[in-house]
């Protein structure tokens, strides 16, 4: 620590040879460093000399303050507001709030852009070349401004702009699993950024930066508290704190939502029951909703985890998920609120494959949910594993609004200790074809509402943000927050484009930096799959904490929390038989996906052990035995981390010394833990296969007994 402080001081006070200043990561991807290419800088200065806006509003003020701040940094000079339309003016407005936008007659283009879309165009007005940012509503202008800043940050040409962009999903959220005592469930970046003790009197300026960051990537809502919800959040005391946050977020188009506990009418309301069909209970929720909306008129709604992992829910009263969700939906309906009802439900019954349970619990209620309910489904059928097949619920509920839940915090992917770019995981899931309505029915298309009568669409990501100075615990973790926003705006976006933009905005536009580091990002998740859970293995992490490997975990509070339940390793082979001869989970997928997964030969090898119990001697696609192939993956994962270190060494001259050192230090720990993962798993599975580690691969330096007792450090 002392050493780090010293380094920061040294770096702060002396400029580095390459002119890269120390950076603590606080500014995220909104650094707005001056453009270091003179030709480009001159063009930008000419193109953006002044700006003109329509009637002001809190959102427009937020947009213009970001614009002036951003361009001042990027261009090194102020850009002034003007009332004239001279050459090089940025014209910003909607046809309603700006006559100079109305006169451009953009109605046809604007028609398709909804409430949040925008267009950016180079136009000539009375012989003067200008740039216009137009939208139907102020929120669109805000997103347009951030887009324009991104173009400059990533050194794009702005000579003949013709950008049209509108979000493909409506509800684009972060889900914080933050508790009211400041801890964060599965959080690895410090404590909660919400300072409940100080609110509402003291409002930290960090909240504004949080809102800016979210707006810059199109996130338009935030669920402030853990889905394992403390009912106190709904008390008058806490609602006044929530209101203070909502007031800060509003100018950034960011709505506030809350996770609620289904038994709140009992725990804080003093009622005897929380039965959703009870008139008193209905009335309690209605009054609670009225109370919230009185203070926060644009409150988004509730997120609910019910009858899952010990949380209360409608089934406690022999009512259904639909009964529970609809009762809450009625309470928020008069205020245009929504209910996000989670499909992450499973019980402790060891005889029913856990992967079947969410589908079996929700499919029967297709079409039974009110139109302001959206069912929030985790990307895979288990729980945010390094790799899972997509959840079969996508596409299986054509009469229900469905939204995606990704996990941005790395609960099962090495916390903030392993460098993993999750965008490729998101992309893999989003581009998976459900075949719900024939070829091309990708999860992305399902989410966009292309095959449903439901009217809501959305995506949420479980946040990786805490109060650590760099927000996410490690710099590259910011890329995952960034990616979530970009994917929610456009689920068909490529990870490569996202990685490129993030790197340029965060570090440098130099090709020699961007190309190799982008490659490193793109490969990082597969590395992690390789040293943790290759070939479709899953849920073999350390018990409860998920901190490191625990394939040997065989005692747990419930049978389907044991690693052995998931990998089924024996002298014959390994894997969970979910084919038609096993739990038949494959039947939850549409053909031909079902048939592909069902057939051991056709099943994608990266999901082989998810769907099949496979003999150690089984010949894989490479020609190697399953055992050898498994070892190869474990070893390749570690080599992948070593390759990352090499890449990062090559990036040294492009980043500041402190960031360079921090990332390198982290990659060392990453490597150590990857080796621990590899050795633990290989040695443990070897006790079943009884086969040697293939020649040429380095032998684990310690026995299995050592790894079994090892406790990895917490970030």
CA distances, 700 to each of 232, 625, 634, 691, 709 (Å): 50, 20, 12, 14, 16
Q: How far is the CB of 659 from ligand GCW (least distance, A)?
A: 30
- Tell me how far apart the alpha carbons of residues 411 and 547 are, in angstroms, rounded to a whole number: 8
- The answer to the question of residue 233 lying near ligand GCW (CB under 6 A) is no
Contact (CB, 8 A) for 418 and 445: no
Nearer to ligand GCW, 520 or 541 (CB): 541
Nearer to ligand GCW, 228 or 448 (CB): 228
β 573-574/614-615 pair status = antiparallel
Nearer to ligand GCW, 313 or 573 (CB): 313
Q: How far is the CB of 357 from ligand GCW (least distance, A)?
A: 13
Q: How far is the CB of 347 from ligand GCW (least distance, A)?
A: 14
Nearer to ligand GCW, 208 or 228 (CB): 228
With CB under 6 A as the contact rule, the residue among 208, 228, 467, 620 that binds ligand GCW is: 228
**Is 433 marked active-site?**
no
Q: How many residues bind ligand GCW (CB under 6 A)?
A: 11
Q: SS3 of 568, please? A: coil
Active-site option among 309, 515, 554, 572: 309
- Tell me how far apart the alpha carbons of residues 698 and 383 are, in angstroms, rounded to a whole number: 32
- The answer to the question of residue 320 lying near ligand GCW (CB under 6 A) is no
β 373-378/401-407 pair status = parallel
Alpha carbons within 13 A on the beta-carbon side of 18:
12
Sort 39 into a burial class: Cβ within 10 Å, 0-12 / 13-18 / 19+.
exposed
Active-site option among 33, 411, 427, 662: 411
Nearer to ligand GCW, 305 or 567 (CB): 305
Contacts of 255 (CB under 8 A, 6+ apart): 220, 221, 222, 246, 249, 298, 299, 300
- The answer to the question of residue 388 lying near ligand GCW (CB under 6 A) is no
Q: How far is the CB of 405 from ligand GCW (least distance, A)?
A: 8
- Tell me how far apart the alpha carbons of residues 327 and 283 are, in angstroms, rounded to a whole number: 10
Q: 392-431 mask for ligand GCW (x: CB under 6 A)?
A: -------------------x--------------------
Nearer to ligand GCW, 321 or 612 (CB): 321
Query: Residue 407 phi/psi, 5° resolution?
Result: -110, 120
Residue whose C-beta lies closest to ligand GCW: 383
With CB under 6 A as the contact rule, the residue among 106, 113, 227, 626 that binds ligand GCW is: 227
Q: How far is the CB of 175 from ligand GCW (least distance, A)?
A: 9
- The answer to the question of residue 177 lying near ligand GCW (CB under 6 A) is yes
Question: Using CA atoms in the order 211, 216, 220, 221, what is the torsion angle rounded to 10 degrees?
Answer: -40
- The answer to the question of residue 347 lying near ligand GCW (CB under 6 A) is no
- The answer to the question of residue 577 lying near ligand GCW (CB under 6 A) is no
- Tell me how far apart the alpha carbons of residues 376 and 460 are, in angstroms, rounded to a whole number: 8
In the beta sheet, which residues pair with residue 118? 165
With CB under 6 A as the contact rule, the residue among 24, 185, 371, 523 that binds ligand GCW is: 185
Structure-token match 């006044």, residue found: 240
SS3 content of the chain, % helix, strand, coil (to 5): 45, 10, 45
- The answer to the question of residue 305 lying near ligand GCW (CB under 6 A) is yes
With CB under 6 A as the contact rule, the residue among 168, 176, 186, 578 that binds ligand GCW is: 186
Active-site option among 170, 275, 383, 405: 383
* Footprint (CB under 6 A) of ligand GCW, residues 540-569: none
CA 602 to chain centre: 31
Q: How far is the CB of 714 from ligand GCW (least distance, A)?
A: 15
Nearer to ligand GCW, 354 or 633 (CB): 354
In the beta sheet, which residues pair with residue 615? 573
Nearer to ligand GCW, 185 or 371 (CB): 185
- The answer to the question of residue 584 lying near ligand GCW (CB under 6 A) is no
* Footprint (CB under 6 A) of ligand GCW, residues 629-688: none
- Tell me how far apart the alpha carbons of residues 542 and 313 are, in angstroms, rounded to a whole number: 29
Contact (CB, 8 A) for 258 and 223: yes
With CB under 6 A as the contact rule, the residue among 146, 346, 384, 566 that binds ligand GCW is: 384
β 89-93/50-53 pair status = parallel
- The answer to the question of residue 178 lying near ligand GCW (CB under 6 A) is no
- The answer to the question of residue 194 lying near ligand GCW (CB under 6 A) is no
Nearer to ligand GCW, 227 or 242 (CB): 227
Q: How far is the CB of 547 from ligand GCW (least distance, A)?
A: 12
Structure-token match 């992917």, residue found: 413
Q: How far is the CB of 381 from ligand GCW (least distance, A)?
A: 13
Contacts of 113 (CB under 8 A, 6+ apart): 119, 135, 136, 140, 164, 166
- Tell me how far apart the alpha carbons of residues 260 and 301 are, in angstroms, rounded to a whole number: 10
Nearer to ligand GCW, 445 or 464 (CB): 464
**Is 87 marked active-site?**
no
Contact (CB, 8 A) for 60 and 54: yes
Nearer to ligand GCW, 92 or 402 (CB): 402
With CB under 6 A as the contact rule, the residue among 252, 344, 346, 426 that binds ligand GCW is: 344
Query: Residue 704 phi/psi, 5° resolution?
Result: -55, -40
User: What are the structure tokens assigned to 150, written together?
Assistant: 């991104």
Q: In what order do the strands lie in the sheet with 80-81?
A: 80-81, 50-53, 89-93, 128-134, 118-125, 162-165
CA geometry: angle 37, 41, 42, nearest 5 deg: 125
DSSP letters for 2-32 = HHHHHHHHHHHHS--TT-PPP--STTTT---
Contact (CB, 8 A) for 521 and 421: yes
- The answer to the question of residue 578 lying near ligand GCW (CB under 6 A) is no
Q: How far is the CB of 607 from ligand GCW (least distance, A)?
A: 20
Structure-token match 């068909």, residue found: 492
Nearer to ligand GCW, 407 or 679 (CB): 407
**Is 671 marked active-site?**
no
Q: 479-508 mask for ligand GCW (x: CB under 6 A)?
A: ------------------------------
Nearer to ligand GCW, 116 or 388 (CB): 388
List of long-range contacts for 56-59, beta carbons under 8 Å, 24+ apart: 57/97, 57/138, 58/250, 58/251, 59/138, 59/139, 59/141, 59/142, 59/250, 59/251, 59/252, 59/253
CA distances, 650 to each of 475, 517, 526, 663, 664 (Å): 17, 9, 21, 13, 11
> Which residues form the interface with ligand GCW (CB under 6 A)?
177, 185-186, 227-228, 305, 309, 344, 383-384, 411
Could you give the residue numbers annotated as active site?
Answer: 309, 383, 411
């Amino acid at each position: 620590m002392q050493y780090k402080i010293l380094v920061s001081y040294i770096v702060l006070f002396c400029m580095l040879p390459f002119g890269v200043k120390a950076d603590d990561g606080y500014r995220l991807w909104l650094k707005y460093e001056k453009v270091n290419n003179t030709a480009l800088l001159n063009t930008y200065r000419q193109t953006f000399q002044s700006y003109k806006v329509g009637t002001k509003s809190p959102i427009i003020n937020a947009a213009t303050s970001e614009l002036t701040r951003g361009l001042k940094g990027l261009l090194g000079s102020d850009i002034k507001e003007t009332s004239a339309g001279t050459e090089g003016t940025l014209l910003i407005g909607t046809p309603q709030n700006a006559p100079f936008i109305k006169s451009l007659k953009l109605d046809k283009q604007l028609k398709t852009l909804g409430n949040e879309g925008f267009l950016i165009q180079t136009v000539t007005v009375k012989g003067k070349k200008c740039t216009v940012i137009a939208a139907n509503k102020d929120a669109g202008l805000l997103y347009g401004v951030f887009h324009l800043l991104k173009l400059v940050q990533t050194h794009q040409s702005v000579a003949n702009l013709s950008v049209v962009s509108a979000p493909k999903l409506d509800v684009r959220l972060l889900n914080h699993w933050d508790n009211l005592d400041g801890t964060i469930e599965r959080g690895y970046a410090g404590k909660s950024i919400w300072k409940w003790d100080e609110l509402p009197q003291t409002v930290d300026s960090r909240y504004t930066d949080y809102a800016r960051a979210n707006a810059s990537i199109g996130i338009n809502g935030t669920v402030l508290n853990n889905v394992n919800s403390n009912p106190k959040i709904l008390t008058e005391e806490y609602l006044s704190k929530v209101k203070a946050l909502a007031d800060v977020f509003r100018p950034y188009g960011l709505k506030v939502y809350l996770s609620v506990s289904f038994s709140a009418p009992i725990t804080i309301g003093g009622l005897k029951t929380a039965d959703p069909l009870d008139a008193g209970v209905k009335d309690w929720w209605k009054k609670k909703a009225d109370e919230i909306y009185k203070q926060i008129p644009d409150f988004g709604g509730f997120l609910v985890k019910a009858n899952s992992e010990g949380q209360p829910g409608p089934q406690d009263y022999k009512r259904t998920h639909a009964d529970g969700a609809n009762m809450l939906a009625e309470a928020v309906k008069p205020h245009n609120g929504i209910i996000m009802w989670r499909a992450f439900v499973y019980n402790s019954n060891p005889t029913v494959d856990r992967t079947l349970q969410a589908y079996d619990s929700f499919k029967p209620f297709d079409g039974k949910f009110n139109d302001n309910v959206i069912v929030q489904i985790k990307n895979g059928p288990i729980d945010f594993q390094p790799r899972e097949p997509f959840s079969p619920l996508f596409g299986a509920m054509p009469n229900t609004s469905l939204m995606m839940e990704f996990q941005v915090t790395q609960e099962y992917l090495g916390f903030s200790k392993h460098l993993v770019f999750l965008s490729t995981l998101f992309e893999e899931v989003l581009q998976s074809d459900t075949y719900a309505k024939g070829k091309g029915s990708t999860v992305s298309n399902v989410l966009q509402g292309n095959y449903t009568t439901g009217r809501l669409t959305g995506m949420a990501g479980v946040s990786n943000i805490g109060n650590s100075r760099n927000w996410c615990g490690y710099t590259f973790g910011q890329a995952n927050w960034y990616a979530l926003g970009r994917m929610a705006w456009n689920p068909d976006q490529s990870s490569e484009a996202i990685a490129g933009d993030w790197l340029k905005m965060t570090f440098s536009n130099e090709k020699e930096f961007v190309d190799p580091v982008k490659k490193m990002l793109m490969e990082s998740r597969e590395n992690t799959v390789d040293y943790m859970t290759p070939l479709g293995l899953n849920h073999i992490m350390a018990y409860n904490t998920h901190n490191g490997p625990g394939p040997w975990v065989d005692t747990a509070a419930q049978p389907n929390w044991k690693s052995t339940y998931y990998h089924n390793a024996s002298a014959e082979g390994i894997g969970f038989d979910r084919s038609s001869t096993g739990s038949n989970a494959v039947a939850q997928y549409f053909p031909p996906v079902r048939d592909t997964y069902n057939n051991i030969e056709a099943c994608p090898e990266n999901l082989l052990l998810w769907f099949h119990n496979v003999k150690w001697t089984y010949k894989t696609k490479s020609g190697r035995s399953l055992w050898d192939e498994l070892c190869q993956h474990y070893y390749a994962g570690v080599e992948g981390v070593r390759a990352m270190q090499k890449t990062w060494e090559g990036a040294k001259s492009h980043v500041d010394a402190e960031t360079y050192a921090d990332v390198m230090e982290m990659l060392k720990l990453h490597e150590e833990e990857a080796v621990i993962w590899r050795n633990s798993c290989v040695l443990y599975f070897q006790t079943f296969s009884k086969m040697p580690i293939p020649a040429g691969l380095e032998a684990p330096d310690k026995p299995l007994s050592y790894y079994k007792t090892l406790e990895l450090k917490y970030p």
